Amino acid sequence: MSRRESPPPPPPSPPPQMLGECEDRPERAEPLSDAEMEVIQHTWGHVYKNCEDVGVSVLIRFFVNFPSAKQYFSQFQDMQDPEEMERSSQLRQHARRVMNAINTVVENLRDPEKVSSVLALVGKAHAIKHKVEPIYFKILSGVMLNVLSEDFPEFFTAEVQLVWTKLMAAVYWHVTGAYTEVGWLQVSSSAV
């Protein structure tokens, strides 16, 4: 079984019915320690050398395991074959955008305002312009962590994966905060 055809991860916990009324959303994301920031930046340096290929692998796994996510991408929503997806210039372009957004976050870990600003822009664009359900960010984060740990096992040890999980939780927290800010109320479980 190839990495793009691995079984999907377990579904995330059911999302709240209304994000604006989410009672279990923490008041703020758990901050990263200096040591955790160093770990993230060190491991990301290895990943970002191949950012487009890694991003493509992440998106293909995401779309194969969660085909409902393709509904937001008219340019490749009808693609079923992972090899066809891999050849798609539009998918490659979106993979670069995703990886560049993560890169901006990683490069600015010591500047929380910058991170918050970047992720607010991402969240607002996906909420207002693209109308993407926020649960897909959580799912994509999990897929990304799986691909990184499989493609870079020498760097993504169990301890490193925990640090990256903490970062991805912070990313999700910021993005969903942007959804709340723009009054997003539609959250369904169609992704799971």
The token pair that represents 188 in the structure block: 């369904």
Topology of the domain covering 34-182 = Globin-like (1.10.490)
**pLDDT tens readout for residues 127-184:** 999 999 999 999 999 999 999 999 999 999 999 999 999 999 999 999 999 999 999 8
Torsion of CA 87, 90, 93, 98, to 10 degrees: -100
Pick the closest to residue 64 from 6, 110, 11 (CA basis). Answer: 6
Three-state SS at 188: coil
d(CA 168, CA 170): 5
Q: How far is CA 51 from CA 44, 99, 152, in A?
A: 10, 6, 13
Q: Tell me the pTM.
A: 0.82
Name the most confidently modeled range: 1-10, 24-33, 94-103: 94-103
pLDDT at 187 over 70: no
pLDDT at 16: 35
d(CA 107, CA 101): 10
